[in-house]
Chain A
Amino acid sequence: MEIIKPFSQYLAAMLLAPLLPGIINRVKAFFGGRRGQPALQLYFDLYKLFRKTPVYSRTATWVFRAGPVTGVCALVTALLVLPFAGRPSFLAFEGDFIFLLYLLGLARFATVLAALDTGSAFEGMGASREVQFAVFAEPAFFLGLAALARVGGQTSLSGMFAALTPETWRVAAPVLALLTAAFFIVLLAENSRVPADDPNTHLELTMIHEVMVLDHSGPDLAYILYGAALKLWLFAALIASMVLPRRTGSWAGDSALFLLAVLGVAVAVGVVESVLARLRLTKVPYLLITAFAFSALALIFQVGR
């Protein structure tokens, strides 16, 4: 039975991830007074796209085809490191979150190169913005994880979250609150949500992530959409494990609570997206620098505690 648990956790993440964009859309529809897409829309889209024949640009090379595959695989591998409901992952080792961070970097690198491979000015624009925001998002995310490592005195992601208990919230609430805020901002920027980017925009000039994948179609686009859902899941899971450290003793209870918290993060993203306007592109770095400042403050508080 114990053997099955990590597998079922991993499978749950892989299968439930496409639900999150659906939830966000439902929340936005609710705020907009619309009925909205079904929550399972992404599953239908994926099913449809996997059966379609792709169209490739004459300019593109194998880099364009390898981009989506590499991107989604980097995330599937990153999920191997991600703990589930405060329980250790398959690959839990010292410094595993560095591995995770660089896998995210690999996914980004592959997507950016695939975009540049089309030779389109618009896709180049998106790629340029993507790498720019990464320069500000990565230090913020890294420093946040560093502060979290110091909270539990742990150096693996699974260890950090296993060490997190409701008791930690009682003694180090400011640190954890700052970290939650920082991670949430990074989540919004990294997953191209409002206020950093607007997934629903229909003007290529203002897009970031969406414009990079304009030329992809068929199974390639399906991989990209699925990869984006996994990335959202990854960040949502980190935040969920932080806000709601495990309470019950049972695996099933913890897992159910964790899943609820992940869905809650998606709802929060939807709410933010409904009530906030998008920032001007030149202001996004400042948003991320704010996240960096939160992480830095958290680390300072934690060192001084």
Chain B
Amino acid sequence: MSLLLLALALLLCGALLPLCLRGRPGAPARAGTYAAAAAALAGLSGALPVLLSGEPATVSFPWSVPLGSFSLVLDPLAAFFLVPLFLLTGLGAVYGAGYLKAYEGRKDPALPWAAFNLLTAAMLLVFTASNAVLFLLGWELMAAASFLLVLFEHEKEQARKAGFIYLAAGGAGALLLMAMFALLGAGAPSMDFSSFSPPAGGTASAVFLLALAGFGLKAGFIPLHVWLPEAHPAAPSHVSAVMSGVMIKTGVYGLIRVLAFLRPWPEWWGWLLLGLGLVSCLGGALFALAQHELKRVLAYSSIENVGIILLALGLGVVAAACGADRLASLAFAGALLHVFNHALFKGLLFMGAGAVLHAAGTGELEALGGLSKRMPAAAALFLAGSAAACALPPLNGFAGEFLVYIGAFRALNAPGPVAIAGAAAGLTLATAGALAAAAFARAYGVAFLGEPRTERAAGAHAPGGLMAGPMWILAVLCLGSGLLAPLLLGPLAFAVGSGFGPYYGFLGGLEAMAPFLYVSAGGFALLGIVAIAAAKRRAFLGGREPAVAGTWDCGYAAPSARMQYGASSFAQPLTDFFQPLLRKIGRYPVISEYFPAKASFSLEAQAVFYNSVYMPAAARLRDLAFRFSWLQHGRLQIYILYIVVTLIGLLLWKL
């Protein structure tokens, strides 16, 4: 625990120092990086022992804030979320040191570094706070710090728009959470989590729904996702990695804590979670396929992965409500394992996308191509991340989904509703898996393979060591945690135990052990067979030099890079099929002359929910608000009068 406090102190120093050292060139970045890296080391060495031993630690300080107490709890569940947090922020800081160099002279480095460390500190508080006031403080700090980072390139209109949407979503979420804590703490002596007594009946459901909406706005599942594809791409890439890898998981974390508190669960909660997970899973993968910007593809893939986590939670809750504890434990374990795995591969992918932005100056897929020759190592690492995101064995994305699948199949042989939930969950995973594979094959193939489509892509260069190093580490972790998944089951069982009850933790670890050992064996077999086949291939070649020629384009001798299959054309069969959902807007040239002149064609992926749900709703809300505009005079005296009247009213009511 003391190591965690040390990490917190280091992070706060890391947030203040860059601002103080503003005058000296290079100093703010150095201070920010070292503080973040040191805090990550301290935090990891604080969290890992808890995860390995399963022994929780607590610390509490007096705090003068009304209803608040500075009490932190580090139990295995918190530690399970802290490990990816510190992994990604530590590596992200190193990466960021390289990434932000490109902005030297154009941007003040102090603010991004201060905000980055503040964001990490805030997430540390969110994961460990055991008092509602402290939790909300961390929550709001997290939103504020990340808001600053989203606005990093505030001269771009896109980033400003993203910032405003993000601010609105964060504010709404926090309001819902305050309402939730008010409901929970209504009869309790203090706002410490331990003093809350579990509500029953309608209140429990109200708390659950408030938590689902409030935390959901952070987790970013559909339909609460509109801010995510705007905000994540706008932030600098190491921040996108942290936001997608860890920050959206604070929503999952909060939801799990509330669920754990509100037992026993009614069955319909599970169905609601399952339904939301299903929609996010399929929708996220489908929208990812239609995006034209690399980081937006990744952002939508994050929505898909949050959907997978939610789907697993929903399956678990339905199963637990129907008394099928074994498969509930498998589903919960799958959900948590996917939280960890997604952090690793999504961090890697965003860093890879950052390397592309850094080298080519754009993430527009249609402007890229051929990067694999210009940045071979980064391209290979991005490929590893993509394969993990498609849940391809032997990488880590497979492990978490595999647990959910086993849970779903156990469910199939159970009676009634559990079987339906299992079939729905498994089917969603299979379909979303195929869609995600299409989306990532498209993103990787168009950006990294083939010939460069523009000068900028042709002039791209490999990222420096500071940026490549963290990506290597994450890729090795992706492979390692895929191949050695059985080793993760111990900590996972502790985390499930502290999140959902020791019974589930024990069962989950037990049930998953045998299949995981086999999958691990299968992964090693695959690698062995690949090694043999590659060696055989070399033997077949027998040292002969392969001949080199142009690509066979069916006899056409002068193919140009523009003739390659691009991002739009690759996805077109699928996006056309799902056009009613995607609502792409295409502008096609009409050919009227015998000798058609220069024409242009454009295809735009729409933010469907933003345009057709949120904008009309916001317009309605604004109209409503204008009806009360007579309250607003713009005169200070009247506002003060309002305040005085309210205070007197409150005083009278309390008397």
Using CB atoms and an 8 Å cutoff, list the residues of chain A in contact with chain B: 50-51, 53-63, 69-70, 72-74, 76-77, 80-81, 91, 93-96, 98-99, 101-103, 105-106, 108-109, 112-113, 116-125, 127-129, 131-132, 134-135, 137-139, 141-143, 146, 149-150, 153, 155, 204, 214-215, 218-220, 222-223, 281, 285, 299, 303
Contacts and interface: CB of A to CB of B under 8 A. Distances in A.
Interface in B207-243: none
30 contacts: A54-B547, A55-B548, A56-B547, A59-B370, A59-B551, A73-B526, A76-B533, A77-B529, A80-B525, A93-B515, A94-B406, A98-B405, A99-B519, A99-B522, A102-B391, A102-B393, A113-B441, A116-B445, A116-B565, A119-B450, A121-B565, A123-B565, A124-B450, A124-B570, A127-B570, A128-B571, A131-B570, A135-B431, A139-B431, A299-B423
A129 B437 contact: no
Contact of B565 (A74, A80, A127): A127
B312 interface: no
Given A132-B573, A138-B431, A146-B426, A119 B393 contact: no
A128 B565 contact: yes
Interface in B165-187: none
B559 A77 contact: no
> Which 8 A-B residue pairs are closest in the complex by CB-CB distance?
A124-B565, A116-B445, A119-B450, A93-B518, A131-B438, A142-B430, A57-B551, A132-B573
Given A99-B393, A128-B573, A285-B577, A61 B551 contact: no
Interface in B418-446: 419, 423, 426-427, 430-431, 433-435, 437-438, 440-442, 444-446
A153 B413 contact: yes
Contact of A120 (B391, B541, B559, B571): B559
Contacts of A53: 541, 544-547
Contacts of B534: 69
A155 B410 contact: yes
Interface of B is mostly: helix
Given A58-B549, A96-B518, 6 more contacts: A53-B544, A59-B551, A63-B449, A105-B434, A121-B559, A131-B570
B446 to A, nearest CB: 7
B530 A69 contact: yes
A58 B565 CA distance: 17
A139 B412 contact: no
Contact of A149 (B413, B435, B549): B413
B300 interface: no
A219 B541 contact: yes
Contact of B412 (A54, A109, A150, A215): A150
Interface in B428-482: 430-431, 433-435, 437-438, 440-442, 444-446, 449-451
A134 B373 contact: no
Nearest to B535: A69
Interface of B: 369-370, 372-373, 376, 379-380, 383, 387, 390-393, 398, 402, 405-406, 409-410, 412-413, 419, 423, 426-427, 430-431, 433-435, 437-438, 440-442, 444-446, 449-451, 514-515, 518-519, 521-522, 525-526, 529-530, 533-534, 537, 540-541, 544-554, 559, 561, 563-565, 569-574, 577
B446 A142 contact: no
A152 to B, nearest CB: 9
Contacts of A215: 551-552
A91 B521 contact: yes
Contacts of B406: 94-95, 98, 155
Given A69-B537, A219-B537, A58 B441 contact: no
Majority SS of interface residues in chain A? helix
Given A135-B435, A138-B434, A142-B426, A119 B547 contact: no
B449 A134 contact: no
Q: Which of A131, A139, A214 has the most CB of B within 10 A?
A: A131
A142 B514 CA distance: 22
A203 B295 CA distance: 37
A91 B523 CA distance: 11
A146 B412 contact: yes
A51 B446 CA distance: 33
Contacts of B383: 63, 113
Contacts of A60: 551
Contacts of A58: 548-551
B392 A102 contact: yes
B372 A63 contact: yes
Contacts of A72: 533
Contacts of A281: 573
B553 A121 contact: yes
A135 B526 contact: no
Given A59-B551, A103-B526, A223-B533, A139 B441 contact: no
Nearest to A101: B430
A150 B413 contact: yes
A146 B412 CA distance: 8
Contacts of A102: 391-393, 398, 433
B542 to A, nearest CB: 9
Contacts of B561: 119
Contact of B393 (A103, A120, A132): A103
B551 A135 contact: no
A116 B440 CA distance: 12
A299 to B, nearest CB: 7
Given A121-B565, A135-B435, A113 B409 contact: no
A221 to B, nearest CB: 11
Given A61-B376, A91-B518, A121 B563 contact: yes
Nearest to A133: B573
A4 to B, nearest CB: 19
